[in-house]
Structure 1
Amino acid sequence: MPARPALSVCVPVHQGARYLESTLRSVLDQDADLEVVVRDNGSTDGSSEIVRGLDDPRIRLVRVEETVPMAENWARTVELARADLVKIVCADDLVAPGALPAQIAALTADPSLAIVVGRTDMVDADGRTLFPNRHVPRSLLGPRPAADVLRAVVRHGGNPIGPSAAVMFRRAHYEAVGGVGGSLHFTMDLDLWVRLLRHGGLHGDSRTAASFRIHPGSASAAATRAEFAVQRAFTRRLIREAEPAIRRRDRVVGVAGCYAALLRRYGLFLLGDLSRRRAARIRRHA
């Protein structure tokens, strides 16, 4: 094997052929010392063939025939990583140009940090931007201690940190907290970010680090009452575990925040669906 890289970009895949090449190119085009670990979770749509077609020595493809749940695929993909720094990128998302070297530099320069994160553009199935600069509110910009971040999560009522493609973390911290948890599918990424904060603070960057794609086949394509209940239960558990860092006013603001987060989520996916329908009409009449 070549020398250990600075960063492992982990790409868990299941039926990701439509967007996978764009996702991988957004990573490979970066000026960074990296490897890309792709674990094909029993896809039948040619995902592995797309990876092989890129013919890049920085890519390591592991294909398995048995399909496991999403959280387990994430965990098994990270297990294959060799670098000290890790980023998980879903097979339909994109990493912004320049994001990887900037995040590597931030984590390398400050050993007190557990997480670095940039903002996220929400894009539709064709890559058109629906909402730019989402996540990482002003309260999370710059270096922030863990307690400040936990309060921001409670007040937000959802995920103010962002999706995995926007976040970079340390492999040692990931292993220390037990990796990806499989019991909280809807809050799987946020649960990991919160547990990583046991080992340090967060640095939030106002620049865009990733694009999160909204399309009917995405794992986040709907917000059900059950998922909302999971989010509320997660927030209540966080309040209990983070005492006394969570103040009374944080809890009060968080009650309203959780409903606002639900409305934002519904609105986001509704706009994505409208954009998809409009694009389909234009193609039909072209």
Structure 2
Amino acid sequence: MRLVDGLMNGPWIRYANLRYALEEDPPRPERLAVAQALTEHHQGKVRSFNRAHEALGAGPEWATPTPDLLRFVAHMYRVPAGYLTGEDDNQIRDKALDRACGKKVIEGTPIPDSFFVDTVCQPMLETPGDEQRLAVVGRMRKLFRRSVWAYLARPVMGLMMTAGWIAITLPTPEDWFRWFCVAMFATMTLVFFRVDLRRVRRALELLRLPQGRFQSVVEGRLREEVGANLQDLMTRTTFPAAWFHDTLCHQRPLSATDLVQIGAPELGEARIAWAAVDRQLRQPRD
């Protein structure tokens, strides 16, 4: 990845240049979700969910990353927070770290340890009990079962509509344009049929996993969505900074209480939980 001068770009662009340079090993999926949430927009914006905005048909809006979000990312990747936020305006350090990252990417030269910092972040010292974790698992099992019926409904309806269209078109064999439309519709139906049945099969395979394995997969996917929606969760919920530290840095499982707050109406209710289901069915991970 070609590095750009930090003085000419915003802090999120610097982070885009750093996220591969600072990881010896590929980042964990939930950390990668944070990276994608910060860098997927060409103007360095992050997605911010707004219910009124979505109701008007425009979908998610794009917002500048908050300083708190960038500080937390700096903590996760062990870089000086000021390098991402720009608050300390340390141009000498920024240029030196840009140069060090460039050598890391291009030549494989390790980045000097003097650049790394361990930001103090007090852990919560609280982990959810088995009952709380089982409540999350039960809720996610219901969502996966509902997804099976949802993904079965579309191909069935498509096949019924295709059959009905063919029946209507049979009396007019000379109408080639109508037959062409039928053929195109049938082809699309078969494509969606295959895609939906693959997702149904993945959901059924996941539901058949032992309790512990299912719980591990679900919690990992939920943490990925927490990372992808970090901006909204930091600004629209009452989660303390230590909650994000334990959840994303220390792999803390999510509790039933966490799931309720993640599914608050201000965040689109079950949007994050459904996104975790969809992520698993699109790109299954054991």
Query: Greater share of strand residues, 1 or 2?
Result: 1
Which structure carries more relative contact order (alpha carbon 8 Å, separation 6+)?
A: 2
* Structure showing greater Rg: 2
Query: Normalization by structure 2: what TM-score?
Result: 0.24
Query: Greater share of helix residues, 1 or 2?
Result: 2
